[in-house]
Structure 1
Amino acid sequence: MATAAAAGILTSGRLTASIGGVLHAHSVNPAFHSNLAAFSPKSFSPAAISFRPRRRQFASTALYKPDFSVKEEGTKETLDYRVFFIDSSGKKVSPWHDIPLSLGDGVFNFVVEIPKNSSAKMEVATDEPFTPIKQDTKKGKLRYYPYNINWNYGLLPQTWEDPSYANLEVDGALGDNDPVDVIEIGDARAKIGEVLKIKPLAALAMIDEGELDWKIVAISLNDPRASLLNDMNDVEIHFPGTLTAIRNWFRDYKIPDGKPANQFGLGNKPASKDYALKVIRETNESWAKLIKRSVPAGQLSLA
């Protein structure tokens, strides 16, 4: 597994970087790096859009359960608490960079940061070596949502919302400089650091203080109803009202702190599964450029 990345090249689906004369590699899915010209910006109703991308497999040689474990350091709900990911040799690895994104056939890995029915705002520390999960802070104090989140929440590894990219389909909003968020709607409560197989169902284009913060709505393949859900219309049938509840939760959660409500692009409506897959492809491509240092990393850790 990769432990760092500096200057590199993309070859045979692997991102290889030379650091101090030693070669390191990040898994990069070549199926994501194809021509996206067919998806040109235009006005549309996202619910009615039917994207017809070139048929392809999200091929991956990675196992569903990468050979790693999680290790807690410090005490929960303290500034020092971290959840690190450890490979089979005992070395720390990054849940953002080293866990593969695609498992093929439209299935992806999802790293859980915040279990459902909890309020501690846990997130991958994108500016720390090996990007462990920690509790977010503001002015030196731990952050909590004003009420519990009702779904498992976390990130898609090997994705990145580029803060220099203005998305013309979403009011020209710039990326928020983070991995893409996932809202997993299944019944089971996951654990911090758990990696689940999920399939995307819809996308919400949240605009948080002017930054584009994609929310991919998905279902764990372990959920008893997973086989019944294949697009956002199925969510309304089997989880009625959930898409509206998710949008409203993320729209309003900052209001108790005296901040304005978040906004949503794409006509304030969820977009289809095909659109969600488009977002994943594009943000995976942005991540690959970041890892190759084709774009500035700023304070982000690439280890």
Structure 2
Amino acid sequence: MIPNFKAHPWHGISAGEDAPNVVNTFIEIVPSDTIKYEVDKKSGYLKVDRPQKFSNIIPALYGFIPRTYCHEEVKKLAIREGATDVSEGDHDPLDILVLCSHNIHSGGLLMDAIPIGGFKMIDKGEADDKIVAVMVGDQVYGHMKDISELPQAEVFRLKHYFLTYKNLPYEEATCRIEEIYGAEHAKEVINASLKDYSDKFGGSL
């Protein structure tokens, strides 16, 4: 008899056989959500992190790449690219935003995504990269290979979200985007986070 169990979405699922070219992605939040969900690191279940207090709506599917971790290697990339105030990675799996033309109603699911770029975000001295990807096979976005193929207005929309989603009207902003990068650097960030995961939790790359 096969025992019943649920694989932990962070530790129990691979980043994908063809990572970093195509990556497994665990989706936590969809654009219709007014609640920010995130995976509970102990149980692997989605939990409520916080309700969105203001008008920010996630502009695309949002989640993380399994078996990634942002620490020393991700920090080194940020410093290499010119960030002077980074002390560490953010100690979380690598965040990913997946562009998709379909209406997906809820998170807690896996999908294959192709990284096309990302944002090198620095938040309170921590490297907190946001990978931008497209869903494999999507009729509108699936053919794109680099963030430079996106309309500039779409890039600005994604950037604006990440610069404002943590801000409260009466508080000073704590994060900035150091760089917008293309597919090749996105793959470097993914590989760095896979190495950080291996160093932290063990297992082969």
Fold conserved between structures, TM > 0.5: yes
Runs of 4+ in structure 1 deviating by more than 6 angstroms, as ranges, are: none
- The TM-score, its normalising length taken from structure 2, stands at 0.85
> Which residue matches 1:153?
62
Residue 214 of structure 1 corresponds to: 129
Higher Rg of the two aligned structures = 1
Instruction: Specify the alignment match of 2:165 in structure 1.
Output: 253
Which one of 93, 108, 112 corresponds to residue 179 of structure 1?
A: 93
Aligned length, in residue pairs:
193
**What pairs with 1:93-242 in structure 2 (closer than 5 Å)?**
93-104=7-18, 106-126=21-41, 128=42, 130-136=43-49, 142-144=50-52, 146-147=54-55, 148-162=57-71, 166-167=75-76, 168-169=79-80, 170-173=83-86, 174-190=88-104, 191-236=106-151, 240-242=152-154
1:278 partner amino acid: E
**Counterpart of 1:288 in 2: which secondary structure?**
helix
Measured against aligned partners, the alpha-carbon deviations of 1:26-48 in whole angstroms (never above 9, x if no partner) come to: xxxxxxxxxxxxxxxxxxxxxxx
Contact 1:117–1:151 (CA under 8 A) maintained in structure 2: no
- Superposed CA deviations along residues 221-244 of structure 1, whole A, max 9, x for unmatched, are 1310244301111123xxx41111
- Contact kept, 8 Å, 2:73 with 2:195, in 1: the verdict is no
Corresponding residue for residue 279 of structure 1: 189
- In 2 relative to 1, CA 162–120 (structure 1 residues): closer, same or farther, beyond 3 Å? same
1:79-98 map, 5 Å: 89-98=3-12
**How far apart, in 2, do the equivalents of 1:215 and 1:164 lie?**
15
How many angstroms apart in 2 are the aligned matches of 1:227 and 1:220? 6
How far is the alpha carbon of 1:98 from its aligned partner? 1.2
Q: Percent identity?
A: 23
**What residue number does 1:289 align with?**
199
Q: CA separation in 2, counterparts of 1:227 and 1:112?
A: 17
Give the gaps of 5 or more residues in structure 2. none
**Helix, strand or coil: the match of 1:248?**
helix
Q: Any gaps of 5 or more consecutive residues in structure 1?
A: 1-87, 137-141, 294-303
Which structure ranks higher in relative contact order (CA pairs < 8 Å, sequence separation ≥ 6)? 2
Q: Give the Å deviation of 1:184.
A: 1.0
Query: Residue 243 and residue 165 in structure 1: after superposition, are their counterparts in 2 closer, same or farther (change >3 A)?
Result: closer
Q: Deviations over 1:90-135 (max 9, x none)?
A: 1132100111102327111110000112221111122x2x332211
